[in-house]
Amino acid sequence: MTMARTFEDLEVWQRSHRQVLNVYQMTARFPREELFGLSSQLRRTMVSVPANIAEGFVKRGKNDKIRFYNIAQGSLEECRYYFRLAEDLRYASTSVVLNDLDEISRMLEAYIAAIRRSPIKTWGIAPMLLTSYFLLLAPGS
């Protein structure tokens, strides 16, 4: 097991970043009239997930870290609605992407739970230690 040195080492960030790339590909096929509507909103909201994970990674206080991860969770739920809307409007089939969002959400929830359980109150180098702790608890580890 390797320790996370940056947010890019976190599997939850990697998966959410891949989802951003998928959203850009998917929305490129939306009708042109959605360029400044659903396409733009879905892209911005999905980008918010890995961006908030990245920002939370460097926060030192436990509550600060959790706040940014909670914002990422909120963005995931917002995306879930936009995917539902895209499906209802017949712009895209979204069942696979919704399953991916479920997995990202579970991973993020597990990461937050690990932070809450951690005896560490203030992080310096500790994001690496907590990430190692989280990796030990992750499903399939």
Q: At 50, which CATH number? A: 1.20.1440.60
Residue 140 has pLDDT above 80, yes or no: no
- With respect to residue 45, please indicate whether it lies within any of the assigned structural domains: yes
- With respect to residue 126, please indicate whether it lies within any of the assigned structural domains: no
- With respect to residue 125, please indicate whether it lies within any of the assigned structural domains: no
- With respect to residue 75, please indicate whether it lies within any of the assigned structural domains: yes
pLDDT of residue 134: 52
**What does DSSP assign to residue 8?**
G
Q: Number of folded domains in the chain?
A: 1
What domain range includes position 55? 9-119
Residue 13 has pLDDT above 80, yes or no: yes
- With respect to residue 4, please indicate whether it lies within any of the assigned structural domains: no
- With respect to residue 17, please indicate whether it lies within any of the assigned structural domains: yes
pLDDT, tens only, 57-105: 999 889 999 999 999 999 999 999 999 999 999 999 999 999 999 999 9
pLDDT of residue 118: 82
Q: pLDDT category, 33, cuts 50, 70, 90? A: very high
* Mean pLDDT value of segment 48-57: 96
- With respect to residue 132, please indicate whether it lies within any of the assigned structural domains: no
Phi-psi region of 90 (alpha: psi -120 to 50; beta: other; left: phi over 0): left
- With respect to residue 128, please indicate whether it lies within any of the assigned structural domains: no
* H or E element that contains 102: helix 95-117
Phi-psi region of 140 (alpha: psi -120 to 50; beta: other; left: phi over 0): left
* H or E element that contains 64: helix 62-88
